[in-house]
Amino acid sequence: MLTVLRTGWRSRGAALAGLAAATLALTACSGSSATEETNAGGSSIEYGADKSAYVDALADMDPVTLAIQSTGPKGSATGRRFEDYAAAVEEWSGGKITFEFTYSNGMAPPNEVHLALADGRLDIGSVMPALVPDDLPAANALGDLSHLGRQTPVDWMLQWHGIMLDLAAATDDVDREYEKHGMKLLLPAFGSGAYMPYCTDPGASTDELDGRGVASQSKVQNREAEALGLTPTSISYAEMFEGLQRGVIDCAFSTVTGAALGGFIPAAPHVAYAEEEGFNAPAGTIAISLARWNELPLAAQQLMYDRLDVLLQANFEGAWENTAAAVGAVLDADGALTPFDADVVERLADVHAAVEEEVAGTDAVTDGEALVDAAREAETEWAGRIDALGIDGVGTSYEDFPAWYAQGAPDLQPYFDALWDGAMGDRRPS
């Protein structure tokens, strides 16, 4: 099991200086340092307090039941993050906050969750900004930078989440955008692994990939595909297996979790990746109905925010469980996870340079140039920070991952300490 942060605040170190400067530039341009919190009053709880402090603070709270939607079936590796989070909040609230679950996106499909949160069908759910780019342009500007970070299975989870959460804390544009649509953003980004092409035939060079059809998940992935000679098409996860099996498409961009749960690895067991140049990784977010959020006392808001550590823990565990299963399925199907040739890496880098230039000039956020600068700072700083933490197996390859996973997950307490000392602490209700 992963160890979750339970300590108090500590000062941020000098490693954050570069990102802090970019953050100040962004917030200065926006005219506000943070989105103003609204709550029903009550006492404030210091982060790191034990369970009894939250229970005592909420003793006089009227009980509330929140409608929450899980993206996966009950008890699944994908749905575990929602279930563990709900159980922790319920326990730490002394039973004052309970949850009513809908599983497998049964209340609202992924592209309508933001509407369901606004109209009251749901209280908590996972919003995918890439599915609604016109409604959430600022969130998509952040998402356009999601190719950053090292692409090996352990390192990606650690570095990518640090980068994306730092970016969300660097500007309040995304928070304001969610509030405009009747939502309060709780967790600005979570992912389940790096995106890679899963293909029916081997392909690690542009010559081999040229002319193939690929299922794509975002606008930036479409551009990445076209740069490699692939023809992108939009196909849902539910249709990928049949599309690959029948030859409608030759490849699918997917995370290891999507590939494992989608069941299409036997039809497409040939995977390629570059350790230092990733594909765009459309992220999920966790949001709550703004109307419901504003009804909660401050301590309840703080509890729901603080126990996002449990959600992240479960997300890491589920992703790594699915990674082990996916690698095993690839090898069982006589496939392989192969490094891209240099020509592919070069073309991806060219696309990403162009995307970063466009984000720098976008009007979707207050200061796109400062956002790109913050992204580059965060990528460098999180790479060094993770190396300095000394977490066992950070550089583990996909081929060696099942053996690493079989030894048990490492102690991630130092990682959660660094995360909560920085971006997550900056966003905490107060």
Q: What does the pLDDT look like over 208-221, one tens digit per residue? A: 999 999 999 999 99
Q: Looking at residues 245-272, what average pLDDT do you find?
A: 93
Is a pLDDT exceeding 60 seen at residue 378?
yes
Amino acid at 222: N
Percent of the chain residues past pLDDT 70, beyond the cut:
91
Q: What is the pLDDT of residue 7?
A: 33
Rounded to whole angstroms, the Cα distance separating 81 from 70 reads 9
* pLDDT score for 188: 96
Q: How far, in Å, are 77, 181, 265, 329 from residue 260 at the CA level?
A: 11, 33, 7, 8
- Structural contact between residues 265 and 227, judged by C-beta atoms closer than 8 angstroms: no
pTM of the predicted model as reported, rounded to 2 decimal places: 0.88
What percent of the chain clears pLDDT 90, i.e. is strictly above it? 75
**Burial track 112-135 (b if 16+ CB lie within 10 A, e otherwise):** bbbbbbbeebbbbbbbbbbbbbeb
Indicate whether 18 pLDDT > 70.
no
On the question of pLDDT at 169 being above 70, the answer is yes
More confident residue, 418 or 163: 163
Pick the more confident residue, 241 or 362.
Answer: 362
> Mean pLDDT for the chain?
89
Q: How far apart are CA 155 and CA 139, in angstroms?
A: 24
d(Cα 271, Cα 251) in Å, to the nearest integer? 9
Read off the tokens for 425: 């602490």
pLDDT at 22: 45
Question: CB within 8 A of 161, min separation 6: which ones?
Answer: 189, 190, 191, 312, 419
| Per-residue confidence (pLDDT) for residue 261, from 0 to 100 | 83
Q: Is it the case that residue 134 has pLDDT exceeding 90? A: yes
Greater confidence (12 vs 176) lies with: 176
CB burial of residue 264 (10 Å; 0-12, 13-18, 19+) = buried
Q: Output the CA torsion sign for 68, 43, 306, 164.
A: positive
pLDDT of residue 201: 97
Q: Across residues 362-385, what is the average pLDDT?
A: 95
Residue 28 has pLDDT above 70, yes or no: no
Look at the chain and count its residues. Answer: 430
Mean per-residue pLDDT for 157-165? 96
**Of 295, 324, 357, 323, the residue nearest 145 (C-alpha):** 357
Average pLDDT over every residue of 185-199? 96
> Tokens at residue 58, please?
């909420």
CB 145 within 8 A of CB 167: yes
User: pLDDT-based confidence at 3, cuts 50/70/90?
Assistant: very low
Find out whether 284 and 222 touch, Cβ atoms under 8 Å. Answer: no
Q: What is the pLDDT of residue 409?
A: 80
pLDDT of residue 36: 54
Query: H/E element holding 356?
Result: helix 342-360
Range of weakest confidence among 65-79, 269-283, 411-425: 411-425
Structure confidence at residue 235 (pLDDT): 84
Q: Is the pLDDT of residue 5 over 70?
A: no
How confident is residue 16, by pLDDT bands cut at 50, 70 and 90?
Answer: very low
The amino acid that residue 91 corresponds to is E
Going by pLDDT thresholds of 50, 70 and 90, the confidence category of residue 19 is: very low
Pick 11 or 394 by higher pLDDT. 394
Question: 220-223 long-range CB contacts below 8 Å, 24 or more apart?
Answer: 220/143, 220/144, 220/147, 220/280, 220/351, 220/355, 221/195, 221/253, 221/279, 221/280, 221/282, 223/351, 223/354, 223/355
Please tell me the distance from the alpha carbon of residue 45 to that of residue 59, in angstroms, as a whole number: 13
pLDDT at 412: 81
